[in-house]
Structure 1
Amino acid sequence: MTLRINPLWWPLMALLSPVLVPVLLAKNFRFKKNQKHAARVNQERIGKAKHLDLPALKSLEVSVLQEWATEEGFMGEPGVSYLFKTDQGSLLLDVAFGPDRESLAHNAGKMGIDFSNVDALAISHLHPDHMGGMKAFRSKVQKVLVPEQLGNPAGKPCYLPDEVKTPGFSNELVTGPRMLTAGIASTGPLARSLFFLGLTEEQALIVKLEGKGLVIFTGCGHPTIEVILNMATSLSDDPIYAIGGGLHFPLTSGRGSYEGLPGIKLQMIVGTGKPPWRRISDHDLSNTIKAINAAGPKYVFLSEHDTCDYSIKRFKNELKAETKVLKTGATYRI
């Protein structure tokens, strides 16, 4: 079994246990309370959802500005940024670690992408690997931060699942399922209780392709793909054609490391939807594989930014759909 915390940390943790234990107990109380709240609000949101008037788009391209896996010459990070181009326009989903790290600016420059050829930005959820880094996340007033190399957003819309500042953009809070830009829709926010990060609201994107069906893309998939699929099928009777993005399954290892905390596999502890003394399990992964297979997509595009090699291998072996790994620098015509 992979150790999530190096044994060298254990003496310090034991020394700090008189402080850590009460803190963890308090967080666990809040975590359980948020679990009940998330389950209730998701059920209410899905129950109230009405069909969206999704346009039947003729084309969809997804260009990957940031992912863990890369094409040659591009820089990988455990973060996400995808550009969606349709016959009605374009929408950028997430800005990875933004200006905190050089990779997004490097990759975008190499691909010739900036806000002069992007109609709008959508943020899946307010975590540092999606909203622009730790400075954006830890700021007294949280804000979405974009590398200056991507140009001036000039007041273009930024669609958000929760309240946050968006310098340079026109802030648009998404409160429920709705159309965004370029014929692309949002599921609206769906909730998940995360032990260290609190109640997290995340939106996924939905596209209807003419003669094919629905394409669903997630950021991390924190609400779980089961909940996201339940919402998507409440918004349209069209079949699921493709599923893509993060699913958050760091079973045996995490991606990257948290600066200043070597020897701690942070992804395996934070953002899992479980308390730190419990792991994501093979059983959890099996349930997700069953849910995706039951949805019957023709294609699945996996994100490696929050999913380990072991889980990727199981997805590839057990999913019935044609399964690909999203790579930085690649463009996928769906």
Structure 2
Amino acid sequence: MTSAKEAADAAPRVRRGRGAHPLARFLFRRILTAVLLAWGITLVTFVLTNLVPGDPVTANLGQRALGDPAIVAQWRAEHGLDKPLWEQYALHLRGLVQGDFGVSQQSHRPVAEDLAQFVPATLELAGAAIAVSLVLGVAFGVVAALRRDRLPDHVLRVLSLIGISVPTFWLALVAFYVFFYRLQITPGSGRVDPALGEAPAVTGLQTVDALIAGQWDVFVSAVGHLITPALVLALYTIGLLTRFTRSAVLEVLGQDYVRAARAKGLPGRVILFRYVLRSALVPVITVAGLAFGSLLSGTVLVEAIFAWPGVGQYAYKSATTLDLPAVMGVGLVVGVVYLVINLIVDVLYGVIDPRVRLQ
């Protein structure tokens, strides 16, 4: 007869602590990975920026100043270009830790101040575009899946294909010409009506700052200026999310547990929201996260057409003038945004699918 002590020794030991909070361990691993990737982004951005052909001295001083070696040497010393690359990177990394991105060679202001001015405008535009894309893309995808091979499905598939195929810059030009110039039903360029002026800066987001200040006329103007460029940016993502949502929902609809739920007599609304959408959202969230990062880095032409003072225009001007601190600052900000979005996506994975936390 086995004793109680032997039975206890034979039983599998539970590892205390490790299995207590699987979601906390999951988040810790993701955050640690994000920190390591952020350091990698600084290294890659610095190396690639310095490998770009061209001389920043020529781009900033011009040909006449190059004839004076004293001026060239002084300019290189002021911007740290007279030091070895490894030392430049060490100084750059130390500055980043202290929140110092360097000084822009064009605006002669700290890069951090420039980014604080331009990044919120792009975040507002991209955020509005991804919000519209999620609502319409997921809704269209669900309708197309539930009406498979019927008229709504065919119409939505054609529209999604058009949204994916139409070049964004061409659509922006057409939208600006038709809705502003010809029909005059949307505001012109910029973020607000010049006659109203911008709301006092708090977050840098004009819609939010106008609400904080209680300036409803500025809020209405900011929303009006935001609609057209946001819809132009969202069209591609709407088409992408429609197709991915349709495919994911169709795959889940064929699972055994969905058939079992139907056999039990559960209402279709309960089956859709509790069983189908929860399982189908995992690939949709992945696509949405990648799409948001792409919107941030792909707004250059849309910002140029609508005169939107965002980070895209700042990055373009910095690249054409070889403003290395500004280019590295923009690259780091975009990379960190990608990391944050991926971290949010990983967290949503763990919330939606508990199996992800235990892997």
- Select the structure that is richer in helix: 2
Greater relative contact order structure (CA < 8 Å, 6+ sep): 2
Q: Larger C-alpha radius of gyration, 1 or 2?
A: 2
Output the TM-score relative to the length of structure 1: 0.29
- Select the structure that is richer in strand: 1
